[in-house]
Amino acid sequence: MSIVKVIVCGSCGKMGREAIKTVSKEENLELVGAVDLDNTGKDIGLITQNQALEIYISNDLEFIISNTAPQVMIDFTAPAVVKEHIYTALQNNVVPVVGTTGLTNEDIEEINTWVHRYETGAIIAPNFALGAILMMKFSSIAARFLPQVEIIELHHDQKIDAPSGTALKTAQMIKAEQVKYGIGDASDNKPEEIEKLNGARGGKIEDIHIHSIRLQGKVAHQEVIFGGKGQTLSIRHDSLDRSSFMPGLVMAIKEAVGLKKLIYGLENLIEF
């Protein structure tokens, strides 16, 4: 495999730092640029691993792309700027691999139009942890057999968006499976609820309740709880360290080279 040239947006954030360390050490990947609003002009290697990489942080994505000619742009930034980064990458025929969450269904549709316009693909993954992908897949299978389901997602207290992209994606996958197999709304036989405290039952999408918890000490966790006659089933995944996301990220980078379509969800890169 030829060398893949990679830049990282959000390189000084927690996920960005992990991505920098991974890409700089991975065989067949070459880190060529780092973008962030913080630490402009500093060597990203000294910030992430106390080892100079002679790659200096810039706050200008266009400048980095034009001067390094990357094939892939990793983005771990924020919902407010991620769409602009994706558009800039696609305009310049750079494939974005995006872990930033907070994108809406309308955002995904708009990005898909850009992909077709510029004939350059994109990978958007609510979660890069392979265990989380399996959790979502197993949950969609369980939905065929157990009609009632709720999702609890837990993250660190610095996460801005709620519910998480992983929870939303899980609900979408479960709903798609229910529709495919003709499974009706499991709430049909429930009594009308009285919510004495607004939000006590969490949010609701695709007829599925999602509960979001934000606490210090957490990284990324999700439990999908199914109910059936006389039984429950819990499917849970825990990311205990951000290194858990890196194998999936590397897989996505390597799949991104030459991509011409939008892939939403890492499960679409895995043969089950």
Query: At 210, phi and psi to the nearest 5?
Result: -125, 130
Selecting among 42, 159, 209, 218, the annotated active-site residue is: 159
Active site residue 21: no
The DSSP element (H or E) to which 22 belongs, if any, is helix 14-25
Selecting among 5, 83, 85, 155, the annotated active-site residue is: 155
CA–CA separation, 94 vs 129, rounded Å? 23
Please answer whether residues 94 and 70 qualify as being in contact, where contact means their C-beta atoms are separated by less than 8 angstroms.
yes
Look at the alpha carbons of 73, 26, 11, 78 in this order and tell me if their dihedral is positive or negative. Answer: positive
Please answer whether residues 111 and 262 qualify as being in contact, where contact means their C-beta atoms are separated by less than 8 angstroms.
yes
Active site residue 116: no
Please answer whether residues 120 and 93 qualify as being in contact, where contact means their C-beta atoms are separated by less than 8 angstroms.
yes
CA–CA separation, 168 vs 75, rounded Å? 20
The residues annotated as belonging to the active site are: 155, 159
